[in-house]
Chain A
């Protein structure tokens, strides 16, 4: 065996797939020399459910409830990607009110997802309390989702041509958002200037902009590396809303934390505007399409959405039958796992969790 600089011989450390902080079943094969990481190979596929192949044996409607499971903490986004792709195939327009409701729910979901990330990230870093604090606020949002859709995680609320039914309890949204934004300041007090938190995250796992683009990193991970790329600006969905794009320069774990916190604020901003619009613009929320046995013309359609974890796209190919010929998903986390070896090599074992956690990888999204 080779002797390393620390006097310990090199060893292979198998981190996962059943490890407390991989949040799912990621396996990292690490070459370590003492505490230093010399090599890293992520192994994925432990959560593969065959979501793409499954679609080929189902009708368009049958597949709809399952797409929430692509990433179970941001179900609305996956739903939206699939539903818009099928709408493009069917060449139908969505009523304006339905679009606003979709934006509203997706932004609420983004906040819930970022809160989950914040709590589990701090748990990975060894702080126990923030986990409970963020879950407390996430609970408010999930309770609201439960009220309108009957579900806490797998909503199945979007249908082809709109949403299932008009949104209820609109007046309850604003207090939730106010509470979340207020509590956000508490988190910042606890974390932003915390010397241990800074030493764990600042200048750790630096991801340069060029590198991030080369690896197709999207979402908050990319925007933390000094980039403006946000796919919300390129979709027509958000054209009525004013918001800033959260951005940070350094590309380290701390920047990714900053960007996500800022995104929660911006989402709260969008939600407030959406509530205003919903209150003054009544109208249809779907086109009354009978979704059973819809048969789009042969062709291919593609839809993308900026999820909390980057760009998610759904590509649906139809051969004119009742089942999709092929469905292809592209998810942000898959690319974030790809960059792990690049970021981890040369760091210490204790940095694994600060880097891996900061990328906000959601394993079901990686494996589909």
Chain B
């Protein structure tokens, strides 16, 4: 990080900026990088989903705007910006406008928590895992408020479903995370990542001791994201568009961006907890071969770590999209039953397994 800081000051000095400016700008820079970089990534995630769905269903997907359809989502977003924001009569205007914002703000914060590489971790507070769980729950409040304030029956059914779903799926996630916390003895995401390090690559990733936890979190996260097969709050064939039925224009776009950025954040979250985060699956082996001990090695290693982090995240996202392409939607009461009768007991079993492994490991070590 010092290396980067010096490079930045040199760059500013070259163009005759005062050194004080660098002091102010430098700490803000990573936040801007994350916010802009990930919003762009969300735009392409939407495109990737449509392309993959198209591939699965033997279509081409969007291919008109830009080369290979690359600008399709940009065009869609621009269209939504130009649209009229309609507030239905009888809706609570204040809450109706506030709801998408409430859903969107936590998403930006969530991105700051994730450790993208060993240095690039914007909010590395000691217990940021708890903070993450808290923030990841917040968009549902936005959805609930939005559905409730719309004064539409479809929206109300959708938002009630969203709340019921979120409550039932928070518990299995929390219990499975406890397993990881026990294994790593830490509530900090960077620490959790580091405790999965071994020279043999994936040997100590938490997916191995807590495989049940991985499966439970994977399923629950899909449910919490309201994605197919758990997309009941916005089931378009039953509830028209669920909680977002009455939303249009930029407010709808905010909900839409929220959904996809949470999808990215939660996939990254799974990677951090179970798949070794930014750690390379080849241990230190590959980076030694590629750049050894050269002067730039330090900064290149960070890029390598970020690459592995994004690579693993995209694999998880790809699985999310494939699942969406394959399965029909569950019924709402069976969805809750799945959570309370199968996932919750499984996650508790997982917690005990993790405790046992930690106990045996501790006794041996």
Contacts and interface: CB of A to CB of B under 8 A. Distances in A.
Q: Do these two chains interact?
A: yes
Interface of A: 8, 11, 13-14, 19-21, 34-35, 122-129, 131-133, 136, 190, 194, 196-197, 199-200, 348-353
A133 B57 contact: yes
Given A8-B160, A196-B229, A352 B331 contact: no
A13 B325 contact: no
A19 B154 CA distance: 11
* Category for how many chain B residues contact A: 20 to 34
Give the interface SS of chain A, mostly helix, strand, loop or mixed.
helix
Interface string B301-344: 00000000000000000000000111111111110000000000
B93 interface: no
A106 B334 CA distance: 40
Contacts of A190: 326
Contacts of A194: 327-328
Given A132-B58, A196-B329, A350 B324 contact: no
B237 A129 contact: no
Given A129-B326, A190-B326, A352-B238, A200 B331 contact: yes
Contacts of A349: 157, 238-239, 332
Given A20-B240, A348-B332, A353-B238, A127 B327 contact: yes
A67 B160 CA distance: 46
A126 B53 contact: no
Contacts of A199: 330-331, 334
B240 A19 contact: yes
> Looking at B160, B324, B327, which has the most chain A CB atoms within 10 Å of its CB?
B327
A128 B58 CA distance: 12
A350 B232 contact: yes
> Looking at A35, A122, A136, A352, which has the most chain B CB atoms within 10 Å of its CB?
A35
Contacts of A132: 57-59
B297 interface: no
Given A127-B329, A200-B328, 13 more contacts: A11-B153, A20-B237, A122-B328, A124-B237, A126-B328, A128-B228, A128-B325, A129-B56, A131-B57, A199-B330, A199-B334, A349-B238, A349-B332
Contacts of B324: 128
Contact of B325 (A124, A129, A352): A129
A125 B329 contact: yes
Contacts of A351: 331
Contact of A136 (B53, B58, B330, B333): B58
A126 B229 contact: yes
B330 A196 contact: yes
A126 B56 contact: no
A130 to B, nearest CB: 9
A126 B160 contact: no
B235 interface: yes
Contacts of A352: 238
A11 B228 CA distance: 27
A350 B235 CA distance: 9
B332 A35 contact: yes
A196 B230 CA distance: 11
Nearest to B331: A350
15 contacts: A19-B240, A20-B240, A35-B332, A123-B237, A126-B235, A127-B329, A129-B326, A132-B59, A194-B327, A199-B330, A200-B328, A349-B238, A350-B332, A352-B238, A353-B237
A197 B229 CA distance: 11
Contact of B329 (A126, A129, A133): A126
A34 B324 CA distance: 27
A121 to B, nearest CB: 10
B156 to A, nearest CB: 8
B190 to A, nearest CB: 38
